[in-house]
Amino acid sequence: MDIEDVPLALIDISDANTRKDLDDRQGDSTIDDLARSIDHQGLLQPISVCRTEDGRYAVVAGQRRRLAFRLLSRATIPAIVHSQMSSEDATAVSLVENLHRADMNPQDKAAAFGKLLAHSGTVADVSRNTGVSEATVRKYLQLRSLAPELQERLAAGEARNTDALASLARRFHDDPAKQLLVWDRIGAFRQDIQQDVLRQLRPDLGNLGSLVDRAAEGQLGYHIVRNCPADCPAIPDELKATVAALMNSDS
């Protein structure tokens, strides 16, 4: 693995790249800002590419930086060059680099996790390769079971709250019509209220109306904690042991 100045004209987008929404500054209005930053401060982190059989390069991570360099009319860009990289490794590199980006489309994440799962075989392997918790991996994989219309809304930013959407997909994975009906009734509520409705919702949706009415009256979305921190939904599972130890040390 070496860092080289690679001609931009020889760089293509890899099929493994998890950012599918960028094309010559479309889909990301911050490319101009990034280009100005690079012009003044230089490139802080090289992109990652791998050599292809036809003598060209495929960008694995750094699509925005590549577009910014093109905007600046630069001929080459510093790049970490991988001589060989499997599709699984390339997807993992691209995904890990983009996970910290708040604007990465949930659909892109779901597709990337799905591709990694197809290559790795288990959620545990995907978690290990990306450094993402198994629970988060499962959540994004579950989003692939959403009704096509909900997936379109998610991609467009019209449907949010991925935790609730994943729960909805899990509850009614084989009934897109029910998914749409439920989400149209609860989509405007906070995510904790959405989750509360979904936990109490009967499979036949017979109590959907009453649950929505209770939610609108402020009767849902709260949780009585009788055993803290074990039963506290506001504390991440991975931190509960630490919180319990701190509480015991103070007692």
**pLDDT by residue for the chain (251 residues), tens digit each?**
678 999 999 998 876 665 555 554 444 557 888 899 999 999 988 998 988 888 899 888 888 899 999 999 999 999 999 887 777 777 777 777 766 565 678 888 898 888 888 877 899 998 887 888 999 999 999 999 999 999 999 888 877 789 999 999 999 999 999 999 999 999 999 999 999 999 999 999 999 999 999 999 988 876 555 677 776 766 777 787 888 888 777 65
Handedness of CA 12, 47, 99, 1 (dihedral sign): positive
Residue 224, classified by CB atoms within 10 Å of its CB into exposed (0-12), middle (13-18) or buried (19+), is exposed
Tokens of 45: 């982190």
Which is nearest to 145 in space by CA: 174, 122, 119? 174
- Return the domain boundaries, the chain: 2-102, 146-216, 223-251
Which is nearest to 124 in space by CA: 143, 111, 112, 138? 138
Which is nearest to 159 in space by CA: 216, 105, 113? 105
3 state SS of 205: coil
The Cα 193–Cα 209 span in angstroms is: 14
**Class at the top of the CATH hierarchy for domain 2-102:** alpha beta
| Whole-prediction pTM | 0.65
Place of tokens 């490319």: 31
